[in-house]
């Protein structure tokens, strides 16, 4: 029985840290999808994770339009959803910074880190949605590369929607 309690406690600690993965993994090679992996973490609050995922997709879609005002609104919605998950205050703060940013270039730079955190959260959850794709653009972040989540296999790059909308590839598929 003590062993089961220890496992439960360990899983809870990992779940609380799922949103904090991006800051710890900034120096991973650009083609290494380990930058978006959380090993063994399980987020208990699947309902709130689903709400975060839905709000994240809304934000990603606003980036496709390069609409600063739309991005601000979507980022605030995402911030509110992240506030409902223990351990995601830093990620919520990034969403708030996206909303406060005055130009789309600054918003996109923040979206890189936000995406890494949300990918870690979704991977660490038991979220049952339609197929979720982890996409990657090697040109994002001045050639360092950047990831994002999508519900569509077709690449629609939120980092370069005007010039390289189809730049990127699916790196992982989650069911």
How high is the pLDDT of residue 7?
34
Q: What is the pLDDT of residues 43-73, one digit of tens each?
A: 346 788 999 999 999 999 999 999 999 999 9
Q: Is the pLDDT of residue 109 over 80?
A: yes
Segments in 46-150 forming alpha helices (H): 46-65, 68-82, 89-100, 104-123, 140-143
How high is the pLDDT of residue 127?
78
pTM score over 0.85: no
Rounded mean pLDDT of 15-44?
42
- Looking at every residue in the chain, the average pLDDT score rounds to 80
C-alpha span between 48 and 36 (Å, rounded)? 20
Between 39 and 122, whose confidence is greater? 122
Boundaries of every domain in the chain: 45-174
C-alpha span between 166 and 173 (Å, rounded)? 18
Other Cβ atoms closer than 10 A to 20 = 17
Residue 132: strand pairing partners: 174
How high is the pLDDT of residue 8?
34
Chain centroid to CA 39:
16
Q: Is the pLDDT of residue 128 over 70?
A: yes
pLDDT band at 21 (very low <50, low <70, confident <90, very high): low
Q: What is the pLDDT of residues 85-104, one digit of tens each?
A: 989 999 999 999 999 999 99
């Amino acid at each position: 029985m003590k062993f089961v309690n220890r496992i439960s406690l360990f899983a809870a600690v990992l779940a609380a840290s799922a949103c904090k993965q991006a800051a710890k993994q900034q120096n991973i090679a650009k083609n290494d999808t380990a930058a978006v992996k959380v090993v063994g973490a399980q987020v208990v609050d699947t309902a709130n994770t689903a709400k975060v995922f839905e709000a994240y997709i809304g934000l990603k879609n606003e980036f496709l339009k390069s609409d600063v005002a739309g991005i601000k609104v979507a980022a605030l919605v995402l911030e509110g959803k992240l506030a409902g998950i223990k351990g995601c205050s830093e990620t919520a703060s990034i969403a708030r910074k996206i909303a406060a940013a005055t130009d789309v270039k600054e918003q996109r730079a923040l979206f890189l880190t936000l995406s890494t955190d949300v990918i870690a959260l979704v991977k660490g959850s038991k979220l049952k949605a339609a197929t979720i794709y982890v996409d990657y653009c090697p040109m994002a972040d001045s050639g360092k590369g950047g990831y994002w989540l999508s519900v569509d296999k077709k690449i629609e790059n939120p980092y370069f929607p005007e010039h390289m909308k189809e730049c990127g590839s699916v790196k992982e598929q989650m069911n």
